[in-house]
Amino acid sequence: MELASLSANLLLISFIAYLVATLFFGGAVKGAKSEATYQNNRWGTIGIAITIIGFVSQVGYFITRWIASGHAPVSNMFEFTTAFGMMLVGAFILLFFIYRTPSLGLFALPIAIIIIGYASMFPREITPLIPALKSYWLTIHVITAALGEAILAISAVAGVVYLLKNVDMTKKSKERFWLEAVVFTLILVVGFIVSSTTFKVTGYEAAFTYVDQNEKPAQMVYHYPPLFGMHQYEALTPGAMEPWAEMPAVINAKTLTTFVWSVGTGIVIYLLMRLIYRRPIAMMFQSFAKKANSQLMDEIGYRSVLIGFPVFTLGALIFAMIWAHEAWSRFWGWDPKEVWALITWLFYAAFLHLRLSRDWEGKKSAWLAVIGFIIIMFNLIAVNLIIAGLHSYA
Amino acid sequence: MNKIKCQCGHDNPFGTVLCESCGRPLTEEAKKSKLVDMRYEGSSRRSQTYKRSIIDKIWNFFSSVKIGVSIIVAVLATSAIGTIFPQKLYVPFTAEADIAAYYERLYGFAGVVYYKLGFHDMYSSWWFKILVGMLGTSIIIASVDRVIPLYKSLKKQRTKRHISFMKRQRIYGEGPSDNPDEALTKAEEKLKALKYNVKTEDGAILAEKGRFSRWGPYVNHTGLIIFLLGVLLRGLPGFYVDETMWIREGEMRAIPGAPGYYLESHQFILENYTKEEAEDVFGEALERVGMIPKNYQTDVTLYKTKDGLPGTADLEKVEDYSIIVNKPLKFSGYNVFQMDYRLDELKAMTFQLTDKASAGSLGEFTVNLVNPEKTYDLGNGARVDLLDYYPDYDGIENGEPVSKSPLPNNPAFIFKMVTAEKPEGEKSFVAIRQTLETEENNYKVNFLSAETRNISGLTIRKDKTLYILLLGGIIFMIGVAQGSYWNHRRIWIQKGTDGELLVAAHTNKNWFSLRKEIDKVKDFAQLPNYEDRKDPESNSQKEGDKA
Ligand code: HEM
């Protein structure tokens, strides 16, 4: 237990460090006249130093939790997503040392913060492993795949910086709309974190019995006021809210409830921001991207795909096949999670080939990077929560 | 076809855009353009040169990157559609009608459409296979189309390039120099320090590094093709075995798909995490989720027939092994995996023969439910005959009891009880919690206890293609690493006609990193300023710095 609480504290320290480092990168970008002068800016140096401290602390979290539980801490949603956030920061540090650009940090760290915040909404206790997950290959597979995905995700961060700098937000356009949509999606994640934390703090609980897909009785506990009821539900908790509607057996009404609450909260936050700011929210972030060099962001975007693609292939496909062969006796089973790893891989292969022709540099390439990140997130979140397969966690 | 002779004297193959040797533009289009297209070094490619016959057209179709990307996206999209609803493989039914009903029951109309279109079995559908086939074809043709010309032109390049080639590079600079010869010598020194291969010729330098990275795509495509071939081979008999077997504790069975091998199961074990052992660390999780399994295991002994003959007469023990999830039993190319289990199948039942009136026992007997005996002698003239046995009793049809299956799920018996008092015997029908008598008997058979045992579900796999797949994977990884982690950079420096210096550079990717290296050389050797013609932002910044 000692080790487990040490581990939790290390994670908290890293979370705070990333927040502080973001401010310093902000200072670095604000204080500089142009890309050329801010490359060796003091604020930037402090920013990266704090980022590294945070990263080391998070690696400490990872190792101590590993020791405490006896297995690699990538076995449920909380652990895996946290590790993904950690690797995102690691990938950023790597690219920072190649290109020395604080603009990247100013956007990469907040994304990592949101991801770690998102992860913390899932049950955080240490879980023992079921037999199929007890394998060195699994550990190697998951860690390498997450690392590859994190490096690939940096290309989306560079892409967003590129777009914020190069999309004209003063005129109505498709690009403006979609860029605002990207920002809106991030706010929805914040909405999830806010609403989930609120109900956690108030300790809300409502239990139901229901009939599952295979027509067997089952139980479910909601942590949000139930907007939607499971198939043929019956309330167990007296005084809990009566669901608005009952869902068919294939729909997980609990997940749907969480989703609707998060989206609702996100929309409220977004509208409040719009009310105060009175312009598209993306414009608010635009000033932070002004000083980035477009060519440099384009190159970082491409470079991180080049670095991440081989790592992803190794982790998400090759090691995954080796593990699947050991655990389930077949190296490939067309399980949704596997298929989505393949889709991600094909997508980035397409990206690399499109880059061979010149007219796919710049904006188009930046959009592709953003779409790639959406696919990765879809695989990480939606496939786990919605299309449950063999891999579904917790 | 005719060769194209360049002014420098080199004979280029028909279709060449930039002279393989000196780099002069050869086509009108290339002469007019401001920046030269350096892809594949402007070499002659079949797909760009021949466009007439059907074969040319097919060749050109598959060698186009646009088409290649379209095929990749098509595979991607079909794969994604296959994940909307579960695939057939994950549906808990095997009969087509049941499967169709399953989709309809769970997903309604959308499920029916999904099933009717065959999307429920996407990855074995013919159109998916054709798409993958086209992908393979495209990779092969596109690679062959490019690799040979690329190889030739990279091999033949001259150190001294024509001015028109230099001027059309993305990175280019020219300017006067006080001492061009010294600048060249210093540049050479610095370039060597930066690990470039430097060649000189008559007042010109060609510094090159990472050329081998240009072969990366071709290596990785080769890996992919080997992998796809491996997948194709599994269709051939002998390369791939995939069987399942159920084996009971204490049973010995031939291993399906592996002739001559037998497996004996001693025990199947299922363990859950207990509160005690995991209290500190996992307590919270166990509290929330309930039971979490810790281990599935079958303890077995593997046997082999001595001379490869079938039959159990002549068995030789190979080894004892515990098959655990993630730890298959391996022997001569086969793997036996722990896949499934069924607990507590009835194995034997013990009964007692009693006198109804006195409730006294006349003795006990045990019926083996897989292989029951006909009579059980209890001594003292008492005997029970087993007249009929229904292992999986399913009610009475047409006055006759029936059995659903040969598995002892719900055993029922017709006993004849022979005693000193009733030597001609009394008949009784005995099932679980049920006894029927045709007429009132004096004796009855009482159920005392049952013995159960577990069954292990095992999967037997043999896959000779695994090594081919692994080889493909390794070659692919070498290829992508080669092409992604190294870049091909070239820097040309040469003296102009009036003692000025010209600098040009090219890389296949990562121009920033190339510029950083040129800057180092420039500062050391006093080279002229240069421009990156595709990055106006940095160029203006540099000028800003100077001011
Ligand atoms: C899933 C399948 C494929 C994968 C994983 C793959 C992978 C790659 C990779 C990693 C590169 C190197 C890219 C770079 O370094 O920028 C590459 C280059 C290339 N690929 Fe593919 N490829 C695939 C399919 C195809 C197809 C179908 C074509 C057909 C047109 C194709 C044609 C090319 C070409 C022409 C190059 C550039 C070669 C060069 O730069 O010399 N590839 N491929």
Tens of pLDDT, residue by residue over B111-159, are 889 988 888 888 888 889 999 999 999 999 999 988 988 888 888 788 8
* Residues within 8 A of B (CB atoms), A 279-298 only: 293-296
Q: pLDDT band for position B475 (50/70/90)?
A: very high
* Contact criterion met (CB below 8 Å) for B409 and B391: yes
Interchain contact A69–B (C-beta under 8 A): yes
- In DSSP notation, B358-407 reads T--EEEEEEEESSS--SEEEEETTEEEEEEEEETBEEEEETTEEEES-SS
Q: How far is the CA of B138 from the centre of ligand 1 (A)?
A: 10
Residue A229's DSSP bridge partners are A246
**Candidates B38, B59, B65, B482: which one to mutate for ligand 1, based on the most atoms within 8 Å of Cβ?**
B65
Q: What tens digit of pLDDT does each residue of B191-220 get?
A: 998 899 998 888 888 999 999 999 999 999
Asked if residue B217 has its Cβ within 6 Å of ligand 1, the reply is yes
**Does B238 score more than 80 pLDDT?**
no
Which residues of chain B does A314 touch, with a Cβ-Cβ cutoff of 8 Å?
477
Measured CA to CA, the distance from residue B276 to residue B293 in angstroms comes to 15
Residue B12's DSSP bridge partners are B4
Q: What tens digit of pLDDT does each residue of B68-117 get?
A: 999 999 999 999 998 888 888 777 777 788 888 888 888 888 888 998 88
* Contact criterion met (CB below 8 Å) for A368 and A348: no
Q: How far is the CA of B147 from the centre of ligand 1 (A)?
A: 12
Q: How far is the CA of B142 from the centre of ligand 1 (A)?
A: 9
Place of tokens 């309604």: B108
> Where do the structural domains in chain A lie, given as residue ranges?
2-169+286-345
Q: How far is the CA of B95 from the centre of ligand 1 (A)?
A: 42
Measured CA to CA, the distance from residue B547 to residue B542 in angstroms comes to 9
Q: Residue B479 carries which DSSP code?
A: H
- φ, ψ of residue B500 to 5 degrees: the values are -85, 170
Could you write out the three-class secondary structure of A294-318? HHHHHHHHHHHHHHHHHHHHHHHHH
Interchain contact A135–B (C-beta under 8 A): yes
Torsion of the alpha carbons at B121, B122, B125 and B127, rounded to the nearest 10: 160
Reported ipTM: the value is 0.88
Q: Write the residue with the smallest CA distance to atom 4 of ligand 1.
A: A349
State the smallest CA–CA distance between residue A286 and chain B in angstroms: 18
3-state secondary structure of A259: helix
Percent of chain B with pLDDT over 70: 94
Q: What tens digit of pLDDT does each residue of B413-468 get?
A: 999 888 888 888 888 888 877 788 877 888 888 888 888 888 888 888 888 888 89
Q: A228-229 and A245-246: which strand pairing?
A: parallel
**Does B4 score more than 60 pLDDT?**
yes
- Give every strand in the sheet of B197-200, ordered side by side: B197-200, B204-209, B489-495, B501-507, B171-175, B531-532
Nearest to B504, CA basis, from B491, B523, B494, B489: B491
One pLDDT digit (tens) per residue for chain A, 394 residues: 578 888 888 999 999 999 999 998 888 887 666 555 445 678 888 999 999 999 999 999 999 999 888 888 888 888 989 999 999 999 999 999 888 888 899 999 999 999 998 888 887 877 777 766 777 888 899 999 999 999 999 999 999 999 998 888 888 888 889 999 998 988 888 888 888 888 888 878 888 888 777 777 777 888 888 888 887 888 777 777 778 878 777 777 887 888 888 888 999 999 999 898 888 888 888 888 887 888 889 999 999 999 999 999 999 999 999 988 877 777 888 888 889 999 999 999 999 999 987 778 888 999 999 999 999 988 877 766 655 443 433 3
- In DSSP notation, A204-253 reads --EEEEEE-TTS-EEEEEESS--SEEPTT-EE-STTPPPPSEEPPTTS-H
**Measured between alpha carbons, how far is residue A323 from residues A302, A388, A394, B244, B466 in Å?**
30, 19, 20, 20, 13
* Contact criterion met (CB below 8 Å) for A188 and A212: no
Measured CA to CA, the distance from residue A234 to residue A219 in angstroms comes to 9
Q: Which amino acid is at B273?
A: Y
State the smallest CA–CA distance between residue B292 and chain A in angstroms: 7
State the smallest CA–CA distance between residue B417 and chain A in angstroms: 43
Measured CA to CA, the distance from residue B441 to residue B422 in angstroms comes to 10
- Residue A40, pLDDT score: 60
Q: B412-418 and B426-431: which strand pairing?
A: antiparallel
Q: Write the residue with the smallest CA distance to atom 7 of ligand 1.
A: A349
Place of tokens 């004979």: B11
Q: Would you tell me how many other CB atoms lie within 10 Å of the CB of residue B34? A: 7
Q: What structural domains does chain B harbor?
A: 45-143 (no CATH), 170-210+487-547 (3.30.310.80), 240-343+457-472 (no CATH), 345-452 (no CATH)
- Residue B279, pLDDT score: 58
Place of tokens 């001015």: B163
Orientation of helix A77-99 relative to helix A136-166, angle to 10°: 50
**Measured between alpha carbons, how far is residue B492 from residues A33, A51, B110, B163, B508 in Å?**
33, 40, 63, 11, 15
CA angle B148/B150/B155 to nearest 5° reads 100
